[in-house]
Amino acid sequence: MLELAHPWALLLLLLPAAMLLLPAYRESRDSVKVPFFDKLVTLSEQRPQSGAMILRRDRAQRFLVGFMWCCLVLGAAQPQWVGAPVEQQKSGRDLMVAVDLSGSMETRDITLPDGSAVDRLTAVKRVLAELADEREGDRLGLIVFGNAAYLQTPFTDDHRVWTQLLDETEIGMAGQSTVFGDAIGLAIKLFRESDSDNRVLIMLTDGNDTGSTVPPIDATKVAAANNIRIYTIAIGDPASVGEEALDLHTIERVSGVTGGQDFQALDQTQLQRAYAAIGELEPNLYETVSFRPKQSLHWLPVAIALLLYTVYHSWGTWRTWRDASRAERSRAA
């Protein structure tokens, strides 16, 4: 279907007619009075004839000017071809993943199904890669935190890029501490900039908060007020002590306040089960968006006008050259 994006531009077709109403165009004189005509004749050393020829536009010129004006006005109206309605599925949920990169994630205590042991971050990367493959209906984002919280990947539909940036993370690149509360605060800021009403944050840590600007529980209350559900996954031995000890009480409260759920993972199998449980609680969500593709054709009338202009003046130039050649041959004869 053909339509005009700016149909009001067609009013410009009346502009030439309106210009004819101006006083300058209403005069019928075909000559111009020049008081110093005699001086011009003397300076030019020419003999003026008793009459002069008034050059007028021929029919082709009149048609060309009018047609080109119509083409330019039509181009300004921006004709466009509107295709049939197309339905497209769009991500309906924003899912942010926050990964702890503190030094304790280097501990090799995560057992794989084949019995081998890997460090905690490697196990997390493997499971998150599977998560990205399964969450086709979600926009994924990635936060890493240690001494501070940093945005590694903004919300994106490109899960391949998200997985690649996840693979580039390294233990200690964000520092050795664990600012659990600041990571939640950064996620809140990013969710506020998002248009999605379905917001999920997955927090993954193996320690306790060691110096956040905002305490985790306070940040969690703000997250709940912004309709953000937080799922927490605690990695490592809950019986550990010292700075690396798991603060299970805080982790449980963080998920409970926002309506999420907390999980513990001592090996990769439990880690996979935790993400599978989150997948069941937060199934893929799609939004169907309908639109009609549009292809602009504004260039077509402009190209036609330019082509006619070029052809006409090329033909006029050739005709002038032909007449001059004939006159020269006649004089030579």
User: Residue 306 — very low, low, confident or very high, per pLDDT cuts 50/70/90?
Assistant: very high
DSSP 34-49: -TTHHHHHHHHT----
The backbone region for 259, taken as left when phi is positive above 0, alpha when psi lies in -120 to 50, beta otherwise, is left
- Cβ atoms of 276 and 263 within 8 Å: the answer is no
- Residue-wise burial string across 38-57, b where 16 or more C-beta atoms lie within 10 A, e elsewhere: eeeeeeeeeeeeeeeeeeee
Above 80 in pLDDT, residue 105?
Answer: yes
Task: Compute the half-sphere exposure of residue 179: CA atoms within 13 Å on the CB side of its CA.
Answer: 22
Residues 6+ apart with CB under 8 A from 105: 119, 120, 121, 124, 171, 206, 235
Token look-up 């007619």 returns: 17
Dist CA 37 CA 55 (whole Å): 20
The predicted-structure confidence for 289-304, as pLDDT tens digits, reads as follows 677 788 899 899 999 9
Dist CA 97 CA 156 (whole Å): 12
Above 70 in pLDDT, residue 109?
Answer: yes
User: Residue 84 — very low, low, confident or very high, per pLDDT cuts 50/70/90?
Assistant: confident
Above 90 in pLDDT, residue 243?
Answer: no
Q: How confident is the model over 65-85, as a mean pLDDT?
A: 89
- Cβ atoms of 274 and 68 within 8 Å: the answer is no
The predicted-structure confidence for 19-55, as pLDDT tens digits, reads as follows 777 776 555 665 667 777 777 777 776 766 655 555 5
Above 60 in pLDDT, residue 242?
Answer: no
For 88-289, the fitting CATH number among 3.40.1160.10, 3.40.50.300, 3.40.50.410, 3.40.630.30 is: 3.40.50.410
The predicted-structure confidence for 142-188, as pLDDT tens digits, reads as follows 999 988 999 999 999 889 999 999 999 998 888 888 888 999 999 99
The predicted-structure confidence for 195-209, as pLDDT tens digits, reads as follows 777 889 999 887 677
Domain ranges of the chain: 2-23+57-84+294-332, 88-289
Which has more pLDDT, 57 or 296? Answer: 296
Q: What pLDDT score does 214 carry?
A: 87
- Cβ atoms of 178 and 131 within 8 Å: the answer is no
CA separation, residue 98 to residues 132, 178, 309 (Å): 14, 12, 63
Among 3-17, 85-99, 220-234, which stretch is predicted with the lowest mean pLDDT? 85-99
